[in-house]
């Protein structure tokens, strides 16, 4: 893939496909990590004299304008972050390829930046019909001279702005995508060992592909979050009213058997923090958690976090790792009563040391894991890398071809 250093951008209209899909509470951005991650590439292009057109999706609108998914709050935050390095204020087009987009792009001066409205307000962005998607890509291409792909969180999607548009313009990878790919290669091609993988989150079905692939590569796989209860059930344990995917039990049993045969250590919780009801994440009022054995969760209780003994166990399993990949929280980290497991894993990454005593290469695999790092107050710079794309990272580690990366290759 070419990088932006190989493009002549001065005076050119450069379309930057970023990933600004941030969580919102009304019009308030609750985690601006993805916006901050996009800034270096945008700033570099602007300072080189490009006329920068930034585009992204936000949420899952139904192919039509929807105020709750407007990028207007993102435009304001982007303007704040770029205030010292762009010419004029960051503009905002109230549509994607209509009169507002044409006018704001037409008004750009060298070094200026504008943001288009949510790409998914146009049905062509996500269409499965090649012609409809291509027609939208043609309209986007008419706005620009060059294309820079930098939205790593979307590269696993075959969408118009990710897959079709690069074919219509001279293109290159932005700094964020280049970094993400370099990191993922370190997790797949020449891994320093011991290699530990921590997987959490709600559904085991979301992680089956990556577990399958990592069984051939990892030395240890630590399981937490809602998906852990399907593993515990597969071992014959009672899981109360915990999240459970009964239909995945046969597959899980197969993975446990393969891990044993290959000498891959599979680590499951030995205790969990449970409660009778799922907590109110907005009120965050105190609940009545109970710590119970992971192999005997009482009926009527649901596991919501790994327990204190599991926290110690997981920290010990990470302590001598040379490489750690973590994707998915250990529990309902958004509530303080169920955040200790996720906090322990994050700290475990920071404390991990190679057999030679050097700090481990640690990768936080985007999504909720990255949000947890910020919510729980950890220094993001203390980790080797925090990915901006949870789903994209997982699909890369599964060995899949990612459409957005393939489109950037010459």
Q: What residue spans of 203-265 are helical by DSSP H?
A: 208-214, 228-234, 249-262
Residue matched to tokens 């504008």:
114
- Specify the 3-state DSSP secondary structure of 54: strand
Alpha-carbon dihedral 46, 48, 52, 58, rounded to 10 degrees:
-60
**Residue 326 β-bridge partners:** 198, 364
In angstroms, the CA 157 to CA 148 distance is 16
**276 and 335 in contact (C-beta within 8 Å)?**
no
**402 and 392 in contact (C-beta within 8 Å)?**
yes
CB-neighbour burial class of residue 41 (10 A; exposed 0-12, middle 13-18, buried 19+): buried
Beta strands in 44-104 (DSSP E): 51-55, 91-92
**292 and 270 in contact (C-beta within 8 Å)?**
no
Q: Which residues are catalytic?
A: 34, 203, 367, 391
Query: Which pairing describes strands 28-29 and 24-25: parallel, antiparallel, or unpaired?
Result: antiparallel
Q: What angle do CA 110, 112, 114 make, to 5 degrees?
A: 140
Rg (CA), the chain: 22
In angstroms, the CA 375 to CA 23 distance is 13
Name the binding residues: 19-21, 34, 57-60, 120, 157, 207, 303, 334, 366-369
- Specify the 3-state DSSP secondary structure of 265: strand
In angstroms, the CA 15 to CA 45 distance is 10
Bin 26: left if φ > 0, else alpha if -120 < ψ < 50, else beta: left
3-state helix, strand, coil in the chain (%, to 5): 40, 15, 45
In angstroms, the CA 309 to CA 378 distance is 22
| b/e burial code for range 286-305 (CB count within 10 A of at least 16 → b) | ebebeebebbebeeebbbbb
């Amino acid at each position: 893939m070419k990088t932006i250093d190989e493009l002549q951008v001065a005076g050119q209209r450069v379309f930057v496909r970023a990933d600004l899909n941030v969580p919102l509470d009304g019009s308030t951005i609750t985690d601006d990590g993805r916006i901050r991650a996009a800034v270096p590439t945008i700033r570099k292009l602007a300072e080189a004299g490009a006329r920068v057109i930034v585009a992204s999706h936000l949420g899952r609108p139904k192919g039509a304008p929807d105020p709750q998914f407007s990028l207007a709050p993102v435009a304001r935050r982007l303007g704040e972050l770029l205030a010292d390095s762009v010419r004029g204020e960051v503009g905002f087009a109230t549509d994607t390829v209509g009169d507002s987009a044409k006018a704001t792009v037409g008004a750009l001066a060298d070094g200026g930046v504008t943001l288009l409205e949510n790409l998914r307000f146009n049905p062509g962005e996500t269409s499965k019909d090649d012609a409809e998607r291509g027609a939208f890509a043609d309209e986007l291409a008419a706005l620009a001279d060059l294309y820079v792909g930098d939205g790593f969180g979307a590269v696993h999607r075959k969408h118009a702005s990710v897959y079709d548009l690069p074919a219509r313009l001279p293109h290159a990878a932005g700094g964020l995508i280049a970094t993400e790919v370099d990191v993922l290669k370190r997790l797949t091609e020449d891994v320093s060992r011991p290699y530990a993988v921590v997987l959490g989150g709600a559904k085991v079905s979301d992680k089956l592909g990556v577990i399958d692939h990592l069984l051939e590569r990892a030395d240890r796989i630590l399981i937490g979050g809602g998906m852990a209860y399907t593993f515990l059930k597969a071992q014959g344990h009672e899981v109360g009213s915990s999240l459970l995917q009964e239909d995945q039990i046969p597959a899980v049993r197969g993975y446990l058997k393969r891990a044993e045969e290959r000498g891959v250590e599979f680590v499951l919780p030995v205790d969990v923090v449970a409660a009778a009801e799922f907590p109110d994440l907005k009120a965050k009022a105190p609940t009545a958690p109970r710590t119970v054995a992971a192999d005997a969760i009482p009926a009527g209780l649901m596991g919501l976090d790994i327990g204190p003994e599991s926290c110690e166990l997981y920290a010990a399993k990470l302590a001598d790792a040379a490489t750690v990949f973590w994707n998915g929280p250990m529990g309902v980290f958004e509530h303080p009563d169920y955040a200790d497991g996720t906090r322990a894993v994050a700290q475990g990454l920071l404390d991990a040391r190679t057999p030679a005593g050097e700090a481990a290469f640690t990768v936080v695999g985007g999504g909720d894991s990255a949000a947890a790092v910020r919510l729980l107050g950890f220094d993001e710079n203390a980790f080797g890398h925090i990915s901006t794309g949870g789903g994209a990272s997982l699909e890369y580690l599964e060995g899949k071809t990612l459409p957005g990366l393939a489109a950037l290759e010459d």
